[in-house]
Structure 1
């Protein structure tokens, strides 16, 4: 039985390598949720896409990503985190190349679907690798802070980068940009990442559970995406959402009875995990909706170009990154509860300020000020949310916990945007549009305050930090004692 090289166990360099690779991979995955948005008009003109085709260039990625995340997280635990990370990265990179070379709308949508599949297997592994590699709590918290800042900032960076690439090199480069990054990451992952084994010996992947949860989340995502154009009472929308509920109920029944479940229901005994994933739902809803409505306000009301709108979002992005890095000391000293409450209060304050913008607003008072306050709040939430959602489980469930958090965040984004778009629905005209966006942001502020109230029930640091295995009387297996893949 081979052991890890000593550098992978104790040297500082592999730890930095894991953090850098995790941040780069997460940036690439989250970036692709927004980078194509500004390029859609150019894609439509070049490939002859209709309105439905435009929508599916975005939704094909999001639906597949959200639907397969649970399967990707469990596969990382069973078959090895580095192995699944590399496999997902190869699929994602190849799909990006295929999409950039697409000669028709159907091929582009197929490539985006394949991208989502690769992202679902790629995304859960980096955070699990961080938790397994860093045994020192301060080093682990610092790495998670950098990962969280990257994940939160990537969505808004996609708007800016998409505008720059589309204006200078053409729409195909919003996909081609992933190829060199992916090739480098594959090489680094194979050469330098620690090889933690899977736990698949004598165990099979829960195929029925995987099919049911993937179908449930895909139906839910599709049904929610239709709410913007069809009421929930419409046969298509209501029917698909009803099917999603039935599939989810069937999934829970299967998992409760399975000897080797995809998602062991015991994981939800951790109050920190449940509240952390609740925070992930809300931060997904708030972040996605803010990016959407503020960008529309800048372009449709103030008349900004896509590139100028992307630049205007930079203060928000930078504030998120700065707060994510600064809050780590507070989390180390006090645990996740206090930073979560403070972060949600700042977020609610920023949303309330942002909701006061006017049709004749200015960048300084209507975008810059509230954007910085909002960014500080969102950034302060990311690390304690991630810590609560992933650090309170045993080593055998690390990939699953990471996938749960990512799924909650993606589903929160879809649900939040669908609901708040319905709240904002209004007639045309600058005044009406601004009023609708303001209503949506006020509802988002209420969600932030609710999340802050729930964060008061977060367990104390000692309880939150105890892995699930320790709570049940089992000693967790040290990551450095595991053999290589």
Structure 2
């Protein structure tokens, strides 16, 4: 389960570094190549709640197994380059359907199959693969492109998927269906998918044309209308796609918001560091990838340790320590200059990866501990959605803030790195990390509030 979760999350970011190669190979403009990323993220995020609900009605393990097969098929098809852009986009959509099925059910499967006293350790394995997949894209993608064509960025999933299919069918426990007589709310699903599509398209367009553009504003307004319609329609259904009262659970909502913030913060590193290493420091994608691997490797090593600590000690204290470390690591990026020794950057990346690992596993366990068993599927899918939206919003804000700051310093619109003025990039990068640090402080304050109010909020913990 962890392997497929890693690959499905990874595929949201690994393609970014291959976009120039895809553009050249398919003889298409770069802005058309970016649709390979956009389509994947829209389909995944738009279907998460639907598949989370299906997991509660038809069985989470069943949905996960089907998703594994679909994702593997889509990965194989996406690597076939000779059929052009439309074929690639269709393959990415197939990939995304499978990835969404896996993402939406992984936390629910883990929560329902592990006792509370070892749940944080189990969650740490899933969290480890999620965090690794979210941040390892540029690093792993650069390493693959150093030796192979862009097709292998997709084909690397195939053997992993086949292994996951075999292990899943052989070792998964018997499925338990929490709501066997439940119904699927397809109207709510359609409204939610429309909201996600309009929101993501508007946010993506804002990276290029800014938030003042007419079509960006129109897209955001339509997305808000669809979201309001979704929120109005859901209570009217006897069996809605998501019971909105789940968000009245303060412990669940606070844990969800902090998780969203952490993924948004880490997206700043994911976006800014490749610019810094490849454009300013003139490293190759492979060389940059090796340095950036410091983050995911650290995260991979310390996530299980964090999970063990979460089971043995105070989960809320551990998440607080993680967020404090995350805030300090954002301050650490402010010490990175145009000629800083690479070891300083590596130490900062390690600190960032360590802090994220310390936070993630106990927070996941805290979040899912608040949800009654019949709602584990939908609650897990909302967690995955918060992660994806955090990733998208973080990417957009980092890119937009970087170029707005560079434009202000240059006195004109800037949409690319300026080789003649590296100081503009450094100042703008620092500005972005200051904002990321503020987001981290907000998460720290929310976690402190959750900790200080633990006696009041303990009433929300479910007896699963």
- What residue is the counterpart of 1:360 in the other structure? 339
1:15 is aligned to: none
Q: Distance in 2 between matches of 1:469 and 1:193?
A: 24
Q: Does residue 1:202 correspond to 2:174, yes or no? A: no
Q: Deviation of residue 46 (structure 1)? A: 1.2
Shift of 1:466: 6.5
SS of the equivalent of 1:37 reads helix
Question: How far apart are 1:199 and its partner, in Å?
Answer: 4.4
Change beyond 3 A, Cα 1:186–1:465: farther
Name stretches of at least 5 consecutive residues in structure 1 with no aligned partner: 1-21, 471-475, 477-485
The answer for the alignment partner of 1:243 in structure 2 is 222
1:329 offset after TM fit, Å?
4.3
CA-CA distance at 1:422 after TM superposition:
2.0
Q: Measured at CA, do residues 349 and 193 of structure 1 come closer, stay the same or move farther in structure 2, by a change above 3 Å? A: same
What does residue 214 of structure 1 align with?
193
Matched, 1:142 2:121: yes
- Give the C-alpha shift of residue 464 in structure 1: 6.2
Pairwise CA distance, 1:197? 3.3
SS, match of residue 361 in structure 1: coil
**Range 446-455 or range 147-156, more displaced:** 147-156
* Partner of residue 438, structure 2: 446
Give distance in 1, aligned partners of 2:121 and 2:458: 16
Residue 399 to residue 465, structure 1, CA distance change in 2 (3 Å): farther
Residues 217, 244 of structure 1: 8 Å contact kept: yes
Q: Is the 8 A contact 1:347 1:374 kept in 2?
A: yes
> Contact 1:280 / 1:409 at 8 angstroms: preserved in 2?
yes
Distance 2:460 2:180 in 1: 23
Q: Does 1:373 align with 2:338?
A: no
Alignment of 1:121 onto 2:113: no
Asked if the contact 1:302–1:361 (Cα under 8 Å) also holds between the matched residues in 2, the reply is no
In structure 2, the residue matched to 1:176 is: 155
2: distance between equivalents of 1:93 and 1:451?
36
The C-alpha deviation readout for 1:129-160, integer Å capped at 9, x for no partner, is 1111112x332221111221221112333323
Give RMSD over aligned pairs: 1.9
The superposition leaves residues 434-484 of structure 1 with CA deviations (integer Å, 9 ceiling, x where unpaired) of 2111111110011000110011222666776767665xxxxx5xxxxxxxx
| Aligned counterparts of 1:115 and 1:232: Cα–Cα separation in 2 | 30
Q: How far does residue 298 in structure 1 lie from its aligned partner after superposition? A: 0.7
What count of residue pairs does the alignment treat as equivalent?
Answer: 448
2:398 aligned with 1:420, yes or no?
yes
TM-score scaled by length of structure 1: 0.88
Matched, 1:29 2:21: no
Q: How does 1:263-274 map to 2 (within 5 A)?
A: 263-274=242-253
Match of residue 80 from structure 1: 59
TM-score, reference length from structure 2: 0.92
Structure 1 window deviating more from structure 2 (461-470 vs 281-290): it is: 461-470
Partner of 1:55: 34
Change (3 A) 1:413 1:435: same
CA distance in 2, matches of 1:248, 1:258: 16
* CA offsets 1:187-222 (integer angstroms, 9 cap, x no match): 221222112233454332011111111111221111
Question: Structure 2: 5+ residue runs without aligned partners?
Answer: 407-413
When you count helix as a share of all residues, which structure comes out higher?
Answer: 2
Classify 1:396/1:435 alpha carbon distance in 2 versus 1 (closer, same or farther; 3 Å): same
Aligned residue among 367, 377, 382 for 1:404: 382
Aligned to 1:11: none
- Kept in 1, the 8 Å contact 2:20–2:30? The answer is no
Is 1:67 the counterpart of 2:46? The answer is yes
